[in-house]
Structure 1
Amino acid sequence: MSIREFKTERRIQVAFSFRGTECRELLPPAPITQSALTYAGGLRAEILRKIADDTFHYPDYFPKSSRAKQLDSGRRTSMRTLLDRQLDLYERQHENGALSPSTLDGYRKAINSERMKFWDEMALGEVTPSKLRDWIGALGVTPKRARNLLTPLRSVFEDALNDELIDYNPFDRIALGKLLRQTTKASDYEVDPFTAAERATLLDHARADERPMLQFWMNTGLRPGELMALRWGKVDWVANKARIDRNLVAKTEKGPKTAAGIRDVDLNADAIAGLTAQKGASFLAGEHIWLNPRNGMAWETDAQIRRTLWEPLCKRSGVRYRNPYQVRHSYASALLTAGANPWYVAQQLGHVDVQMVFRVYGKFISQDYQRPQATAQPLASEA
């Protein structure tokens, strides 16, 4: 605190450091008395305390100051505005090909979700680690869902920190991993493969235009998107393999997320039989192998398969319904139960390493990790 001398008056000036900047502000013109000096000292102490608590709002104290606009305007920006800007950025990244449609859709759902509305009326500068910690702790979702929600929110704070709108990222002051372990709930999704008898029943009740795809799928364990994207040119009839290098997600084909996703899947006798049976429907076209029986066109989404083929098939066969992805789990569990080497199974599934196989299918893994012989291939006699 000091007294500034001007030609026509003397003014009290308070000095403090805010956001790394030395600030000096004049108090309104008034007689310089002991009471005025005491007030100025108390005001400075209050400002320093609020700066330390990260609750100082510059315009509340010095509304006409040029530094108020320079140092604090960004902090008053609403979180909803910043989240919407983040979504605009994601949409531009999608337009430039840097973001897949499915990833963009996930970010959009997260930003527009009911849980994210918690931040709508809050300004950037009002977000504290404790508020963030309490919000995350109350999400009540699985770890995966929580991280999907946190990704765009975290990007907002990272950009704000880089733009020097905030002094620190509140995410950096919480033990996020520990918090998620303590507060998120376990996924209720479970690996629930179809038994050999159930697989046989499903095949028996499949229509003639459904059975080839189902038979092939049960014997390769492809992801739904990989199954839909598979073309005839990727089948090696001599080596009995199929090259998997494309995945259809949200009506858009793209390469696998990891290099391990590009692989050659072994085709047993039943998989080859399924392909052979499908030749009359799509082979001459030379493009997609598997078509939607309702319109004769290539499948566009896994939801189409679920609604038009899978749900009706489960209903008329009497097999307890599980989602179509359980076909992949059934393939993997059948291989492992037959004594397949988990590393071989991981390669067939397109996993980066074997850890996923042990984590997801551990109860199906036997002590014998030998690679199965040709006679041990699963489902060969079940079609």
Structure 2
Amino acid sequence: MRRLEVFREEILAAISLGTFDYSATFPDSKRAELFKPQAALTISSRLNKWLDRKERHLKASTYDTYRRAILQLKTGLGDITIADIKKKDMRAWCETKTCSNKAIANLTSVLRAALQDAVDDELIDSNPLSDFRFRRAEAPKETEDVDPFTAEEQLAILSALNGQHRNLIQFSFWTGLRPSEAIALEWTDIDFIKGVVQIKRAKTFHARKPETTKTRAGLREVKLLQPALAAIDDQKHHTFLDGRHVFKNPNTSKPWTGDRQIRKFWGWALKRAGVRYRNPYQTRHTYASMMLTAGESLPWISRQMGHSSVIMTTKAYARFIKDSLPDAGNKAVELFAEKRT
């Protein structure tokens, strides 16, 4: 008891002298951060705190996206304290950025979330960026994100490849899987009797091991069309006896470490085929455009793609839908239009 009394007297003395440091005296206290010197409550420190809290809930790729965003925010705004950050500071920083409005919005959302975290911890009374929005006039994009390969280009690309490289790309063209989903496939995911493949996981560059798919709708069953099934049948000669991963890097005989790794042989193949470069993700867009142009059911295509709704599919591929059925509407004309003699 005497030790506690002495401890109390020391604290009271430090308070009277203005030298008391709560966080140093009670480092394990949940309220320690409330009493830190204001200099410690900077944007930089708060962003780090927020990311540490989020890490165990995030996929590796998402964590890396946030990490890179935070690096940018800390460079321009890191020294400002969370109590002093103003909308004008954020607007001035946004004006210095040369990236798109969407990219700036993504950066802003990260800082807004970190500041809201500080509000929840009762470090500041309100979030100064709660309703902050930044937008400037932007010129229209010269190219669209959806840039599929024509039938001739597909043939040229596949002709430039062989073995496991060809099997992976042919399979991708005819299933619409994301590259990260294709390289995470295991032989137990394939039902040869039903002719389908179960999409359960994805493998990105930053993930140490395969993670769940991008969205809940991404957990899906994809029909194996004949060209995709042919690629899988040939792939059996390479990896089936291993009993696990369907696609492996033939240069290492090990599973692909991430979708970025595919770009190395992909770029070489397109150059050899004389095809204008687009990234490997365009194999997915190519699948969607082929299905729509052939007049396949929109709801079916949406499910195959793992989209959350038909609206999402329509928004992404509207220009292919309008050309998919040249005679669309004629059946209604035949049934309901007034008969003319």
What TM-score range do you get, normalising by the shorter chain?
A: 0.7 to 0.9
TM superposition shift of 1:183? 5.7
2:324 counterpart of 1:349: no
Name 2:210's counterpart in structure 1: 253
Gaps of 5+ in 2: 1-16, 24-33, 326-341
Query: Is contact 1:192-1:326 (8 Å) kept?
Result: yes
Question: Per-residue deviation at 1:318?
Answer: 1.1
Q: How many residues align?
A: 294
What's the counterpart of residue 45 of structure 2? 81
Match of 1:276 among 233, 255, 274: 233
2:90 matches 1:132: yes
Query: For 2:159 and 2:306, how far apart are their aligned partners in 1?
Result: 29
TM-score normalised per structure 2: 0.78
Partner of 1:193: 148
Change (3 A) 1:169 1:184: farther
Rounded Cα–Cα distance in structure 1 between residues aligned with 2:109 and 2:286? 32
1:149 partnered with 2:100: no
**Aligned match of 1:376:** none
Q: Which residue of the partner structure matches residue 58 of structure 1?
A: none
CA contact (8 A) 1:75 1:165 kept: no
Q: Structure 2: how far apart are the matches of 1:279 and 1:184?
A: 49
Paired with 1:306 and 1:274, the residues of 2 have a C-alpha distance of 20
Contact 2:46 2:118 in 1 (8 A): no
Offset of residue 72 of structure 1? 9.7
- Separation in 1, partners of 2:321, 2:148: 14
Q: Percent identity?
A: 34
1:318 lines up with 2:274 in the alignment = yes
The amino acid of 1:83's aligned partner reads L
Contact 2:43 2:74 in 1 (8 A): no
Provide the alpha-carbon RMSD of the alignment: 2.7
Name the CA shift for 1:135/1:186 in 2 (closer, same or farther; >3 Å).
Answer: farther
Indicate the residue corresponding to 1:266 in structure 2.
223
How far 1:125 moved relative to its partner? Answer: 2.2
Is contact 1:86–1:152 with CA below 8 Å preserved after alignment?
no
Higher strand share: 1
Letter matched to residue 288 of structure 1: H
C-alpha displacement at 1:74, in angstroms? 4.2
1:111, 1:223 → 2: CA distance?
Answer: 27
Change (3 A) 1:224 1:217: same
5+ unaligned residues in a row in structure 1: which ranges?
1-62, 370-383
Residues in 1 aligned to 2:277 and 2:257: alpha-carbon distance in whole angstroms:
22
Name which structure has the greater RCO, CA cutoff 8 Å, separation 6+. Answer: 2
> Secondary structure at the residue paired with 1:357?
helix
Choose which of 216, 220, 244 in structure 1 pairs with 2:199. 244
The CA deviation at 1:321 is: 1.0
State whether residues 247 and 253 of structure 1, in contact with CA within 8 Å, keep that contact through their aligned partners in structure 2. yes
Q: 1:233 to 1:126 in 2, by over 3 A?
A: same
TM-score (norm 1): 0.70
What secondary structure sits across from 1:148 in the alignment?
Answer: helix
Counterparts of 1:214 and 1:228, CA distance in 2: 11
Is the 8 Å Cα contact of residues 245 and 262 (structure 1) preserved in structure 2? yes
